[in-house]
Amino acid sequence: MDSTRPEDQGREFTISYRLVDDKISVYEKPVRNSGWMPGKFLDFSRIQKPGSSNDDPAYYAPHDFYIGAMVDFHGHRFCLKCADIFVLEFMEKNPECFPECVKENLRNYFACENKRGNTNAGQLGEKPCDPGGVLTNSIVSIFDPNPTN
């Protein structure tokens, strides 16, 4: 979670995107002695992007999720820090559903993680490799609550 509140530091989340109906859920991972209850943070729902109107809503879609992406769910901002390898595998099997820049972003992330010998890529822990900010202007799953680390 991208928050200025000190009590939000160290909070870890898993964000799931359901392709069948474009719904998103957020679950908070347990963090020992954090004082936060783990579990459901946001139940599956379609989430409107900030700044879109109710008359012409724009909803989050698969191409909005890539390493380094900032997403805002009802006023809670998250920075995507890593992804599960199954996300990349799905993208490779369904290339017509994703922009090339998103697929390249995940390929770069996993290539970097493999070079580092990180066999736990996709799990929270040490900051993952940054595949570059190329997508920031041109545009599976876990988010780190402190995107500046």
Order of all β-strands in the sheet with 39-45: 39-45, 23-28, 13-18, 142-144, 76-82, 70-73
- Answer yes or no: is 102 within a domain: yes
Q: What is the average pLDDT score of the chain?
A: 80
- Answer yes or no: is 126 within a domain: yes
**Domain span including residue 124:** 6-144
- Give the tokens for residue 84: 């599960």
- Comparing C-alpha atoms, which of 73, 76, 71, 104 is closest to residue 8? 76
DSSP state of 22: T
Is residue 34 pLDDT above 60, yes or no? yes
Q: Assign residue 78 the CATH number of its domain.
A: 2.30.29.170
- Answer yes or no: is 149 within a domain: no
- Answer yes or no: is 1 within a domain: no
- Answer yes or no: is 11 within a domain: yes
pTM over 0.85: no
Counting the structural domains of the chain, the total is 1
Q: What percent of the chain has pLDDT over 70?
A: 79
- Answer yes or no: is 83 within a domain: yes
CA–CA distance, 72 with 113 (Å, rounded to integer):
26
Q: What is the pLDDT of residues 70-123, one digit of tens each?
A: 999 999 999 999 998 888 899 999 988 889 999 999 999 999 888 887 655 554
